[in-house]
């Protein structure tokens, strides 16, 4: 076991070797051990067949972020089409877009 840090967190997270987890899980003679082996085999088979894995929560967060970006672009487009902007307004709008890009 070793500790590592994740993004946006100061707390260390314990990380275990996959080999150790599977090795220990395959030696446990209990209902939980059997359930673990069924789950592990299903997940590993899925990874082998697909060739990739998906982090559902990260995908959802990125989808929401993309939707927010689309709404911002639509709003900016609407403002640009319907209003003549002064130099200060155009600069402010550009700053908002630039700040949003880095967020």
Residue found by looking up tokens 């908002």 in the block: 96
Which pLDDT value is given to residue 101? 65
**SS3 of the chain: helix, strand, coil, percent, to 5:** 70, 10, 20
pLDDT (tens digit per residue) in 54-91: 888 888 888 888 888 888 778 777 777 777 777 787 77
Residue 2 has pLDDT above 70, yes or no: no
Predicted model pTM = 0.41
Q: Is pLDDT at 41 greater than 80 in this prediction? A: yes
Alpha helices in 28-82 (DSSP H): 31-50, 56-82
Query: How many residues make up the chain in this entry?
Result: 103
């Amino acid at each position: 076991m070793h500790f590592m840090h994740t993004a946006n967190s100061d707390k260390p997270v314990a990380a275990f070797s996959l080999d150790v987890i599977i090795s220990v899980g395959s030696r446990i003679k209990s209902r939980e051990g059997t359930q673990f082996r069924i789950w592990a085999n299903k997940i590993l088979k899925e990874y082998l067949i697909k060739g990739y894995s998906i982090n559902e929560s990260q995908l959802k967060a990125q989808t929401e972020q993309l939707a927010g970006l689309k709404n911002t672009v639509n709003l900016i487009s609407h403002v640009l089409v319907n209003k003549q902007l002064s130099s200060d307004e155009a600069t402010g709008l550009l700053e908002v877009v630039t700040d949003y890009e880095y967020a």
